[in-house]
Amino acid sequence: MDDSSTFEVRREQHALLVFRNHLAQLQPYFDDPLVTEIMVNRFDDVWIERGGEVMRIESKLTPLGIRAAVKALASANSKDVQAVLDCRMPGVRVAASLEPIAIRGAAICIRKHTSSDRSLSDYVTDDSFGIGGWDESARKSPPDEAAIRRGGEALADFFRWAVQQRFNIVVAGATGSGKTTLLNALLAEIPHGERVLTVEDTAELRVRTPNHISFEASPDIGVSIRSLVKLSLRFRPDRIVVGEVRGAEAYDLLDAMNTGHSGGACSFHANSARMALTRLESMVRMNPDAANLPLMSLRQLIADTIRYVVFCSRHGSRRGPEQVLEVNGVDRDGSYQTKVIFDARGVYE
């Protein structure tokens, strides 16, 4: 190793030491080989993942200490201190966000690199090759379809079921149609043991699960919804919920929902449930990575990812779901295969 490489390694190791010193209260978790993730939602709300179990720990961190840690993180990666950072250091990968992007206060998520040295015998020893425990076919059935059509409590039960079974849901409608209100009601049904991350351009969502982070975009400092959707993947979310999707972030969100982060939801403007699918296509096309995606492939991606589209409308003082559309795939002609499972007007053709 030449002198320049040696200097760089030492500089990174020193930066990691400074970073850890500012988070001294977390030192035991850095050193614990069973801890794979340290999640600082804010200075007084810290969680870890240990042996596959997510748990809250007592925190004596301070806002000043977190900011100093973020400064050391930026220095180690030759970056300026920014509201959003995604960095690497020896043995760890760190995502960080400061106010005003992190609505609840400065947040850090530390992913510790684990050893990949594992033999087939190790899989046998810890029962990873065991039978059972992987089958999702035992999902509870949804409420009776005829009952859902009558609305009321059966429709509420359907929404509870859809959230608990981790289906991805789109909530569409015009301004003032109750999209955000319904999203908040859906958020309330997420099991409290899950980690939820919300992304919005204006903070309106209310998360009731204890382990959560809320991000708010700030175009004035160059932080977009899309950049926050991408950052959210570094914060170990179980579910991602995005309020008011407007453009290229639609593709990033679909990708996240379709690659291990199911059970998410989003809202955007559309004139009907079926037109919401068309609008989603248009927004996905705004992403350079999907601009030339064949229509059949694009529709297949959407159908594989989104299970239900809820169209909200406003009639007088009533605001809420007018129609719920189930997306069941794409046919040979490239058309969506859909089924109306609830319509407030009683139209099921």
Question: Does 340 score more than 80 pLDDT?
Answer: yes
For the chain, the domains span: 3-112, 145-343
State the Cα torsion 131-142-272-256 to the nearest 10°.
Answer: -20
User: H/E element holding 46?
Assistant: strand 45-50
CATH number of the 145-343 domain: 3.40.50.300
Instruction: Return the pLDDT at 18.
Output: 83
Question: Does 137 score more than 50 pLDDT?
Answer: no
Instruction: Return the pLDDT at 259.
Output: 85
Rounded to two decimals, what is the model's pTM?
A: 0.88
CATH number of the 3-112 domain: 3.30.450.90
Question: Does 133 score more than 60 pLDDT?
Answer: no
| 214-234 pLDDT, tens digit each | 999 998 888 999 999 999 999
Q: Which residues pair with 268 in a beta bridge?
A: 172
Question: Does 138 score more than 50 pLDDT?
Answer: no
* Euclidean distance between CA atoms 35 and 28, whole angstroms: 9
Which pLDDT band holds residue 128 (cuts at 50, 70, 90)? low
* Euclidean distance between CA atoms 166 and 171, whole angstroms: 15
Pick the residue with more confidence: 229 or 125? 229
Q: Which residues pair with 38 in a beta bridge?
A: 48, 110
Mean per-residue pLDDT, 238-244:
96
Which pLDDT band holds residue 19 (cuts at 50, 70, 90)? confident
Question: Does 248 score more than 90 pLDDT?
Answer: yes
Closest to 273 (Cα-Cα) out of 156, 171, 166, 148: 171
Low-confidence winner among 46-55, 80-89, 202-211, 240-249 (lowest mean pLDDT)? 80-89
Mean of the per-residue pLDDT values of the chain: 89
Closest to 163 (Cα-Cα) out of 54, 301, 262, 260: 262
Instruction: Return the pLDDT at 2.
Output: 58
| 55-68 pLDDT, tens digit each | 999 998 999 999 99
Low-confidence winner among 89-93, 161-165, 324-328 (lowest mean pLDDT)? 89-93
Low-confidence winner among 39-53, 85-99, 194-208, 317-331 (lowest mean pLDDT)? 85-99
Q: Is residue 29 within 8 Å of residue 35, measured between CB atoms?
A: yes
Cα 288 from chain centre: 21
Read out DSSP for 163-193?
A: HHTT--EEEEE-TTSSHHHHHHHHHTTS-TT
Q: Is residue 209 within 8 Å of residue 195, measured between CB atoms?
A: yes
Instruction: Return the pLDDT at 135.
Output: 54
Q: Is residue 149 within 8 Å of residue 138, measured between CB atoms?
A: no
Low-confidence winner among 6-20, 139-153, 222-236, 296-310 (lowest mean pLDDT)? 6-20
| 185-202 pLDDT, tens digit each | 999 999 999 999 999 998
Instruction: Return the pLDDT at 316.
Output: 74
Amino acid at 258: N
Question: Position of tokens 């096309």?
Answer: 285
Mean per-residue pLDDT, 290-298:
95
